[in-house]
Chains A and B, each alone.
Chain A
Amino acid sequence: MAILETKDLAFSYPDGTLALDDINVRIEQGKKIAFVGRNGSGKSTLFLAMNGTHRPKKGEIRFHGKPMKYDSKSLREIRKNIGIVFQNSDDQIFAPTIYQDVAFGPVNLGYPKEKVEEIVHRTLEYVGLTHLRDKPPHHLSGGQKKRVAIAGIIAMDPEIIILDEPLANLDPVGADEVMDLLNELNYFGKTIIISTHDVDLAYSWADYIFLMNERRVISEGMPDEIFMQDENLKAASLKRPVTLEMYEEIKRRGMARYQCCPRNIPDLVHALRSQHLLWVDVPPEVKEGDYVNLGILYGEYAQNSAYEAANCKVLHIHDDGLAIVEMDRKAFRAGSIGIYDTARHSREELLQVMERDGIECVGAMGKRSKLLAERDEIHLDVTAGVVDRSILNALSGQRCLILTNGGMVYHALERIRNYMDNSGLNIPVNILNPGSEEVVKQETARSMET
């Protein structure tokens, strides 16, 4: 269902400069949308039109199918439901303390004092900033300010959250935390719209992409469609995402299986065709296309893991009994991924679990889990791109643990299961300390499988 639509939208600034022209977009509920375009292509102006700040010169905007009205009461309703996070956090954070700033929206919506207090407390906890509630904003880092700005918006509980260049000026870890937060919000049903000129981000994150150039939307579609259209990308002064570029080059050299299009590094790794060709003397009963087992490699022959099983696919058999086989190495020791919900955390239990499962690689997702790990002196091997990294490590035989909490537990689980579905590779994955309702869910999932 379309939650937000524009019809033939045009807007010009009071001095007559045309800023938006002939914009027709349809935004589906619960999706992750990216508007991609160079600086000055009209993304920010479009966003301000979407929350009623700019009144269109021509055309209309529909929210839940109803045309947007511009009297103050309707505007309030629109702005409560369409939150916008500006590119520069300092434009948005104007109260002298974090607490007051996050409370700004709820107070102006006329909520009673206790409710405001409860909302602010919950929101700050959610973005992991409770310890900074009495600090003035100029004592915060860029990433923290961005999370305060987002908290100020989610405190109003909007249906759509629009973020203008959410990762501008953030360091990789800060950027990762903001993206984790957005994924979690999306998981709980919020529609997220971002603008960016970072093609890699848009390609790997978004469900649907609008490509903008010179005040217009020049193309729209799924990420892999959009970024395969070289002409449009050139027109918009953008380039292909690195992952896609690498995939294209690999494919051109005949090193890729046909599988379009890898969106992240695990996908890319999976797209690689195994390149080990060997001459093997095979028994006469073996036919082309069969698999033969060459035993187990270890020591310096095993490249990625302590022990590897070498299974070979027979490609061609010569008359003299020699065959060309393609070696497919499988780590002998199966890797696994455990997810630990830090919402129900005790240090003893966690250490016990790590000991029991022989965990070799620990990653933390979300600010709260990182803080907990730091407090409990648990060494983190991975702090950015945790799910991708854990999949890659598990594929090469490591046992990984992801520390996370709340909705991100399911988000991580879903990402890993998606990878398994798409690649056909099985990675044992489970929640190590499921709560009562999750036990039921896991049981039902298991019974459905069998």
Chain B
Amino acid sequence: MTHILDDYAVLSPLRYKNNWLKLAIVTFGILTGVSSSSPCVPFVIALCMGFATVRFGKISAGFYLRLLAAPAGFVLVSAVIIAFFFGEGAKLFSLGVWGLTLGVSEAGLNMALLVLARTLGGMSCLFFLSLTTPMIELFSVLKATGFPDSFIEIAMMMYRYIFVFLEVAMGVKYAQTVRLGYRDFRTSFRSMVMLGSNLFIRSWEQGEKLYVSMNARCYDGKLILLDEKRPVKLPEVVLTIAYFALVVTVYYFSRGMFIV
């Protein structure tokens, strides 16, 4: 069975903490990270969030790093390109390729580091949220922010059946693979089309079954939300304030400061 991010969130101990507190921490992290002109602040945020996810959220460090590797790899390549093509002025170093001179200027390097830090900071904030807060917890947040009830109810049922169809899709895909359905490009294409149309018909049927089974249980337009009261405890408040204070301090002292 494959795990998706939501499965990790369901099993994480941080799931049972106050949703609003987690949202506040993440929003704060993203906003300060983006508004800081120095790469120090987003780096600090990335470190703190990563630590919190692995330590308090009980996500294995190996898995977390692998997860972070995808965006990190992408942004590293971008950073190299930015470093070479941005910024005027004195080059820190340069190299000649086929008669062209490519160089890295101070401004370009700073820009590259800032982009790298901001991306990592932002990603670690989002991973913190998605690895500790499953969708089922967020429905009550959606409700509180004023989304219409019917929208949330449909979202809840869609959430549930995503997993049912994921399982069906994996089953069909496997059945196709063992009968050489993905042998080459042509057959893969045909198999994908069959998988898609099959899923479409199945979801149609599932809709009818759902209607019957909801009626059989006296459906009267009500679906309740999981609205757990999760009071914020003192240690959490202290930790959050300490984190905010640290970030703000770094923010204050690193104004206009550059790495190089």
Chain A positions near chain B (C-beta within 8 angstroms): 48, 51, 53, 76, 79-80, 83-84, 86, 88, 90-97, 99-100, 103-105, 107-110, 116, 134-139, 152-153, 156
Contact = CB atoms under 8 A, between A and B. Distances in A.
Nearest to A53: B212
Given A91-B213, A107-B222, A156-B218, A96 B135 contact: yes
B54 interface: no
A79 B217 contact: yes
B160 interface: yes
Contact of A136 (B160, B213, B218, B223): B160
What bracket does the count of chain B residues touching chain A fall in? 20 to 34
B156 A53 contact: no
Given A96-B136, A137-B160, A108 B217 contact: yes
Nearest to B216: A84
Nearest to A152: B217
Interface in B7-22: 7, 10
A58 B156 CA distance: 39
Interface string B198-237: 0000000010011011111111111111101000000000
B10 A139 contact: yes
Contacts of B258: none
Interface in B104-135: 134-135
Contacts of A105: 217-218
Interface string B131-167: 0001110010000000000000000110111011001
A134 B218 CA distance: 23
A9 B174 CA distance: 44
Given A91-B210, A107-B223, A107-B224, A96 B216 contact: no
A108 B226 contact: no
8 contacts: A79-B218, A93-B160, A96-B160, A97-B226, A108-B219, A135-B10, A136-B6, A138-B160
Nearest to B217: A105
Contact of B163 (A76, A136, A156): A136
A134 B209 contact: no
Contacts of A97: 136, 226
B222 A99 contact: no
Contacts of A110: 220
Contacts of A94: 157, 160-161, 210, 213-214
A76 B218 contact: yes
Contacts of B206: 91
B223 A104 contact: yes
A151 to B, nearest CB: 12
Given A100-B225, A136-B10, A109 B209 contact: no
A99 B218 CA distance: 17
A94 B210 CA distance: 8
B219 to A, nearest CB: 6
| Interface SS majority for chain A | helix
B218 A116 contact: no
A152 B213 CA distance: 11
B116 to A, nearest CB: 36
Contacts of A135: 10
Q: Which 7 A-B pairs have the closest CB atoms?
A: A138-B163, A108-B220, A91-B209, A96-B136, A108-B218, A92-B213, A105-B217
A96 B210 contact: no
B217 to A, nearest CB: 5
Given A107-B224, A108-B218, 4 more contacts: A90-B164, A103-B224, A134-B226, A136-B10
Contact of B159 (A51, A96, A116, A153): A96
A105 B135 CA distance: 23
Contacts of A153: 217
Contacts of A80: 218
Contacts of B226: 96-97, 99-100, 134
Contacts of B157: 94-95
A389 B139 CA distance: 48
Contacts of B218: 76, 79-80, 105, 108-109, 156
Contacts of A138: 160, 163-164, 167
A2 B134 CA distance: 48
B2 to A, nearest CB: 12
Contacts of B163: 136-138
B218 to A, nearest CB: 5
Interface in B159-181: 159-161, 163-164, 167
Contacts of B7: 139
B216 A136 contact: no
Contact of B213 (A86, A108, A139): A86
Contacts of B224: 100, 103-104, 107, 116
Contacts of A136: 6, 10, 134, 136, 159-160, 163
A100 B225 CA distance: 7
A97 B219 CA distance: 17
A88 B168 CA distance: 13
A136 B135 CA distance: 10
Interface hub of A48, A76, A138 (most chain B Cβ within 10 A): A138
A110 B224 CA distance: 12
A102 to B, nearest CB: 10
A120 to B, nearest CB: 10
Contacts of B212: 48, 53
Nearest to B212: A53
Contacts of B215: 53, 79
